[in-house]
Amino acid sequence: MSPGRPKGVIILCVRVALGGALLGAGVVKMADPVAFVGAIESYALTPQSWNQPIAALLPWLEVLTGGLLLCGLWTRSSALVAAGMLICFVGAMGINLARGADVDCGCFGPGLGDLPLWASMVRTSLLLAAAVLLLRERQDPWLSVDRALRAEASGAPREPAAVSSHASAATSRSSS
Amino acid sequence: MIVDGTAARSESRDRDRAPGRLLFKAVLIVVVGVAGGTVFHAATAGQAFTGPSPPGEIVSLAQARTAIDDHSTVFLDARRLVAYEEGHIPGARSLPLYEFEQAVERAMVGVSRSTAIITYCEGVSCDSAARLAVRLVRAGYRNIRAFPQGWEAWRAAGYPARGGQTP
């Protein structure tokens, strides 16, 4: 087993988990936009007139970002967008927690799992950590379109790339 | 192997030096997502995002005031519990729209399907009262009316108010 394999597997799992979570959350919100407007309203952070536009745009962004992460296309850029959204979500939950308002998270539709807000905030924070991890990962992830495109462009075989990246790191260390 | 490693290092450096490209793609993702949502919103003329009109009669401020003295009418506050606790119409019960499933059983204790019910939320800018009324009709309650002017108009009129715990 190459030294890069465990890390590659972890990154793959993180990418699939984050992508799946965002895609699922977006689809559920798209399916019931009225409930999502209600969820945004319950956070009481935005003017009433903003709630519908936010409810219209956010699920699309989640589905798009989640889909890209699952495919591994533009992975780091998708992770950056995901991180931006998740920071907003954590902030919104944090403000309501500080207010003492135990609103329904609304993350995956109304009342899913009946998690208290603090638990939803922890879950969202974990997703945020996953997004940051993907953002910091500069190698093309395994089983990704990014990696396939890169391999095709360079004509290099796909699997040895993980080994070659370590060779590159070793070369880099020896040269410095 | 060394050639591969050098290529990978060079590739990695290229990407390190291209934060602009990373940002550009991120902005493109946001733009496409926003465009999709905007087209969907425009295509449905926003109807997918608004609850239907209140199923029953609309109650005016004066009628709501009169109904308070009629103890057979139940007022339901569709706002968040925190807003309810800060102030509400006397005798009103809290049934936040977004916590409907969890809260309806508790809120409707002692309320029969034929009991006169008036729903309200913050004011004309919110539609939670109408949407709550729709959900109650779906749940089998038959005598539902909405008070769209809501808490804002009630408070502005100087009518009696209560703060405190859920009854």
* ipTM of the shown complex: 0.76
d(CA A61, CA A101): 27
Query: What are the chain A neighbours of B15 within 8 Å (beta carbons)?
Result: 138
Query: What are the chain B neighbours of A106 within 8 Å (beta carbons)?
Result: 98
Pick from A37, A49, A154: CB nearest B7: A154
pLDDT band at A39 (very low <50, low <70, confident <90, very high): confident
Q: Which residue has the higher pLDDT, A152 or A136?
A: A136
Q: Is A66 on the interface with B (CB under 8 A)?
A: no
Q: Give pLDDT, residue A62.
A: 96
pLDDT at B8 over 60: no
Q: Give pLDDT, residue B11.
A: 52
Say which residue the tokens 């060079």 belong to.
B10
User: Rounded mean pLDDT of B86-108?
Assistant: 88
Q: How far is B134 from chain A (nearest CA, A)?
A: 12
Q: Give pLDDT, residue B17.
A: 46
Contact B9 A172 (CB under 8 A): yes
Tally of residues, chain B: 167
What is the percentage of chain A residues whose pLDDT exceeds 90?
Answer: 38
Query: What are the chain A neighbours of B82 within 8 Å (beta carbons)?
Result: 44, 99-101
User: Rounded mean pLDDT of B7-18?
Assistant: 50
Q: How far is A150 from chain B (nearest CA, A)?
A: 10
> Tokens representing A145?
């379109």
Nearest CA in chain A to B47: A34
What is the percentage of chain A residues whose pLDDT exceeds 70?
Answer: 81
Helices (H), B54-121: 61-69, 81-86, 100-107
Q: Give pLDDT, residue B31.
A: 93
Nearest CA in chain B to A159: B4
pTM of the model: 0.63
CB atoms within 10 A of CB B159: 14
Q: Which residue has the higher pLDDT, B83 or A171?
A: B83
pLDDT band at A163 (very low <50, low <70, confident <90, very high): very low
> Tokens representing B122?
């913050």
A-B CB pairs within 8 A amount to: 144
Residues B123-167 have pLDDT tens digits of 876 778 888 888 888 788 889 999 988 998 999 999 988 875 444
Helices (H), B17-160: 19-43, 61-69, 81-86, 100-107, 128-138, 150-156
Query: What are the chain A neighbours of B40 within 8 Å (beta carbons)?
Result: 56, 60
Residues A67-97 have pLDDT tens digits of 999 999 989 999 999 999 999 999 999 998 8
Q: How far is B31 from chain A (nearest CA, A)?
A: 9
Say which residue the tokens 């995956």 belong to.
A108
